[in-house]
Structure 1
Amino acid sequence: MGSFLSVLTDNWDIIGPHFLATVELFLIAAAGSLVVGTLLAAMRVSPVPALRAFGTSYVLLLRNTPLTLVFALLVFAVPKLDVNIDYFPSACVALIAYTSAFVCEVLRSGINTVPVGQAEAARALGMTFTQVLGSVVLPQAFRNIVPPMMSVLIAMLKNTTIAAGFSVAEAGAIRAYLAERGENQIQVLLWVTIGFLVIIAPLVYLQRRLEQRWKVAR
């Protein structure tokens, strides 16, 4: 047990900053994905054909593209266009671009659960499409999509480990760093697993609290 704990205490200078970078990457990507995903969902239900076509094409393309390829395009292909972005911002953009497609589909499924009559009644009162979506449809949709949306965010948190393969110093790179120090790799992986469980736990708690609160509200 002492040797297991020493892996954490003796290497906190590596483990701590790398997990902090993972949290930062997750928070930035989560916020960006929710914003972009909501815009994409609005496009997919928009009365404008061009916007619907763009939203549909984006979702189909990104959902069927491996995340590793999205990272590779941003890290290796974009610099060829004389656009230089550091590795961490590139990882944020890759996660946002990829995850927003899944957020869009979850949100669109929530929008479809809202009775059509409510939107029609709002339009009959003279509300615009944007007002109907923002004031009537989306507030109800968000209440119905808490479990699947949290699942998408948790999956994105685990997907941050892919960034380690593209020179981003986050939790996925801990094993390689500690391997150079000669640490037991099984124990290192156990600590990485524990670290992710600690990060995921607040998301699970938040999911349950929101479900209970909105269940009572309904």
Structure 2
Amino acid sequence: MDVLLDNLDLYGPFFLTTIKLFVLAAIASLVFGTFLAMLRVSPVPVFRAVGTTYVTLLRNTPLTLVFVFLVFAYPLLEILELSYFTAAVVALTLYTSAFICEVVRSGINTVPVGQAEAARALGLTFTQVLGSIVLPQAVRSVVPPLVSMLIALLKNTTIAAGFSVAEAGAIRQYLSERGENQLVGLLWVALGFVILVAVLSFVQRSLEKRWSVAR
């Protein structure tokens, strides 16, 4: 307990940064990933090709390389200056959205084709069919894998520590500088992540229970 209590000035702010990083990247990934899924199932070949290319490239690129590009290579383009925190959010979003896309697309494929055809027969556009008919059902069917992707995103935030972002993954380095027991310090970090993952798991169970009744 001494390691934790003596270093609350590290654990508190750094875990808060981790949570902010996770929440922002999670929201952006869900939105962008859903948009990519819409491209993947679009009737327009060009849109499908764009979505497929993006997902293929990002799913097969290590997250660390995405961070390297955003932190070191992107500034050389001199387009828009990004802070280390913002670059981390963008990197996590670009990477995670590719996996979210595939999860959402698998959910879309579970919706009977007849429902989309009936909606189109009533005069609904492709966007209206997806937004009002298909996506609500698709998301309900993929809650567990979606939450699994978010849990993976939460743990991936620790990579940001290697790129000058003061979050939970960087606590060990600061404990080393203070001469604290790093093993005990890392155990407290691990416990912190276990608690955060438990919260996400609770949310998953709650959504599954609520939506299973609604269906």
Smaller-chain TM-score bracket = over 0.9
Instruction: Tell me which of 116, 119, 122 is aligned to 1:125.
Output: 122
Give the Å deviation of 1:216.
1.8
**2:131 matches 1:106:** no
Cα distance in 2 for residues equivalent to 1:123 and 1:104: 23
Give the Å deviation of 1:123.
0.2
Instruction: Tell me which of 30, 39, 43 is aligned to 2:39.
Output: 43
**2:144 matches 1:144:** no
Counterpart of 2:190, as a letter, is T
Cα distance in 2 for residues equivalent to 1:215 and 1:42: 24
What's the CA shift string for 1:142-191, capped at 9, x where partnerless?
11000000000000000000000000000000000001111111101100
Matches within 5 A, 1:192-207: 192-207=189-204
Matches within 5 A, 1:184-199: 184-199=181-196
Q: Which residue of 2 aligns with 1:167?
A: 164
**2:36 matches 1:54:** no
Query: SS of 2:165's equivalent?
Result: coil
Give the Å deviation of 1:217.
2.0
- Give the total of aligned pairs: 214
Counterpart of 2:116, as a letter, is A
**2:11 matches 1:15:** yes
Q: Which residue of 2 aligns with 1:91?
A: 88
Pairwise CA RMSD: 0.6
Moved over 6 A (4+): none
Cα distance in 2 for residues equivalent to 1:9 and 1:31: 32
Give the Å deviation of 1:85.
1.1
Identity, % of aligned positions: 69
Instruction: Tell me which of 206, 211, 215 is aligned to 1:214.
Output: 211
Q: Report the TM-score, using the length of structure 1 for normalisation.
A: 0.97
Query: SS of 2:94's equivalent?
Result: helix
Cα distance in 2 for residues equivalent to 1:82 and 1:36: 24
**2:77 matches 1:69:** no
Give the Å deviation of 1:121.
0.2
Cα distance in 1 for residues equivalent to 2:90 and 2:169: 18
What's the CA shift string for 1:109-162, capped at 9, x where partnerless?
000000000000000000000000000000000110000000000000000000
Unaligned 5+ residue runs, structure 2? Answer: none
